[in-house]
Amino acid sequence: MGAVSFRKLNKSYGSLRIVKDLDLEIADGEFVVLVGPSGCGKSTTLRMLAGLESITSGEVRIGDTVVNDLQPRQRDIAMVFQDYALYPHKTVRENLGFSLKVRGVPRAEADRLIEEVAAMLGIGHLLDRRPGQLSGGQRQRVAMGRAIVRRPQVFLFDEPLSNLDAQLRGQVRTEIKKLHQALRTTILYVTHDQVEAMTLADRIVILRGGVIEQVGTPDQVYNSPASVFVGGFIGAPAMNFLRGRIEAGQARCADGVTLDLRQVAGVPAEGQEVIIGLRPEHIRAGHGAGVDFAATVQVVEPLGADTLAHVGIGDAVLTARLDPKTHPQTGSRIALSIAPGDLHLFDARTEQALR
Ligand SMILES: Nc1ncnc2c1ncn2[C@@H]1O[C@H](COP(=O)(O)OP(=O)(O)OP(=O)(O)O)[C@@H](O)[C@H]1O
Ligand SMILES: [Mg+2]
């Protein structure tokens, strides 16, 4: 079956450690999205699973088979890249059918598989064109089709939509989700895009410097980030952070700003240095949500459905996503609040979540 497991996986280039003791179990049929900053080892991890990169130490399994020493074509996986990597001189039909031909699948059977996949992706009318005669989105569908006809145990996607414009990205993203619902093949998918990660994943893996920071459902990583890093990485606009020190149930931040945390469950011990996380979408205009504060509006960005206000509180600047009806005015002092349950508290020293 198409389960994947990484056990104590390491990759080094010389003395440079890129992936460090990575442990991850992916269930058969699961859709796992790998996110993290540029250079954190996402592609390297995918390429080690694909067999395109050697493994320095540790073990990679697909199903019950240790694949460390297997050639890419022996691993029963298919990979879709950002740049599509189609054969430019072959037609769409030939691109889709190439792997079938190599495997010696009879012509009639191959044609049937090609037509079926083309219909599934809505590219049936493009079979006689060459990649140069296709739009970016169409090329991306051909690249996916080429992976699908092989019916692999595992699909690997490395930022497959990053060359598409925003609208097309949304469309193809929905198609990938439908595809997974129909095929139920295991997918490991790398992206920079928050929305892709949140909408596609059964579980999200957040990688930082070759180490897993958190693995969880989209709901878990958004609502219960394990660290300041995850809190700041998941969610857009990014989570705001304030540093403070707990004194008599209040967080005393720089510049005489205090947040009253007496209604917040599990406030840490007196004297503890904390980092408080506030998501822009959880900050409300007006007092009364539980933890009240005031701030000075510096910049207002109307987005239509909501308005981003960048507000100064002490020496910090927070972003608040407000109802446009509140019309925040640049330079004015406004009342804001946040529900106690929406505050995130982290240990300022370890940067790990406190509750
Ligand atoms: N052949 C190589 N020799 C030395 N270092 C390498 C080599 N290939 C990759 N690296 C380094 O390994 C690190 C991880 O690279 P990788 O491509 O996995 O990052 P990534 O997370 O996919 O980043 P991005 O989001 O930019 O695609 C990078 O710092 C990169 O410079
Ligand atoms: Mg990469």
Q: Three-class SS of residue 279?
A: coil
**Ligand 1 centroid from CA 323, angstroms:** 41
pLDDT tens digits, 221-232:
999 999 999 999
- Nearest ligand 1 atom to alpha carbon 159: 27
Atom of ligand 1 nearest to the CA of 37: 25
CA of 81 to the centre of ligand 2 (A): 10
Residue nearest to ligand 1 atom 31, measured at CA:
39
pLDDT band at residue 56 under the 50/70/90 scheme: very high
Q: Which atom of ligand 1 is nearest to the CA of 11?
A: 12
Distance 44 CA to ligand 1 centre (A): 6
Domains of the chain with CATH codes: 4-229 (3.40.50.300), 239-347 (2.40.50.140)
Nearest CA to ligand 1 atom 22: 43
Rounded to the nearest angstrom, the distance between the alpha carbon of 43 and the centre of ligand 1 is 7
Q: Return the structure tokens found at 32.
A: 């796992």
pLDDT recorded at residue 73: 87
Mean pLDDT of all residues in 89-115: 94
The rounded Å distance from CA 18 to ligand 1 centre is: 7
Q: Which of 220, 168, 175, 165 is nearest to 198 (CA)?
A: 220
Under the banding of pLDDT at 50, 70 and 90, the label for residue 267 is confident
- Decide if pLDDT at 172 tops 80: yes
Alpha carbon of 170 to ligand 2 centroid (Å)? 21
Q: How far apart are CA 263 and CA 325, in angstroms?
A: 28
Measured CA to CA, the distance from residue 353 to residue 100 in angstroms comes to 50
Distance CA(4)–CA(60), nearest Å, equals 7
Question: What's this model's pTM, rounded to 2 decimal places?
Answer: 0.93
Task: Name the token pair of 295.
Answer: 């701030």
Closest CA relative to residue 257, chosen from 295, 309, 228: 295
Q: Is there an atom of ligand 1 within 6 Å of 321 CB?
A: no
Binned at pLDDT 50, 70 and 90, residue 155 comes out as very high
Beta strand segments in the chain, E: 4-13, 16-26, 31-35, 57-62, 65-66, 77-80, 154-158, 186-190, 203-208, 211-216, 240-247, 250-253, 258-260, 273-278, 284-285, 291-302, 307-313, 316-322, 333-338, 344-347
43 lines ligand 1 (CB under 6 A): yes
- Regarding the beta carbon of 191 and ligand 1, being less than 6 Å apart is answered no
User: What is the rounded average pLDDT of the residues 240-250?
Assistant: 93
Report pLDDT for 336: 96
Q: Which pLDDT belongs to residue 166?
A: 84
Please tell me the distance from the alpha carbon of residue 231 to that of residue 241, in angstroms, as a whole number.
9
Ligand 1 neighbourhood includes 210 CB (under 6 angstroms): no
Stated as kind and residue range, the H or E segment containing 178 is: helix 166-183
Closest ligand 1 atom to Cα of 45: 18
What confidence score (pLDDT) does residue 257 get? 83
Nearest CA to ligand 1 atom 9: 44
The verdict on the CB of residue 18 being under 6 Å from ligand 1 is yes
Cα distances (angstroms) measured from residue 19 to each of 96, 184, 208: 34, 28, 9
Look at residue 83 and tell me whether its pLDDT is greater than 80: no
The closest-lying atom of ligand 1 relative to the alpha carbon of residue 19 is: 14
- Find the 180 Cα to ligand 1 centroid distance in Å: 28
Q: Is the CB of 41 under 6 A from ligand 1?
A: yes
Q: Residue 42 C-alpha to ligand 2 middle, in angstroms?
A: 6
Burial of 181 (0-12, 13-18, 19+ CB in 10 A): exposed
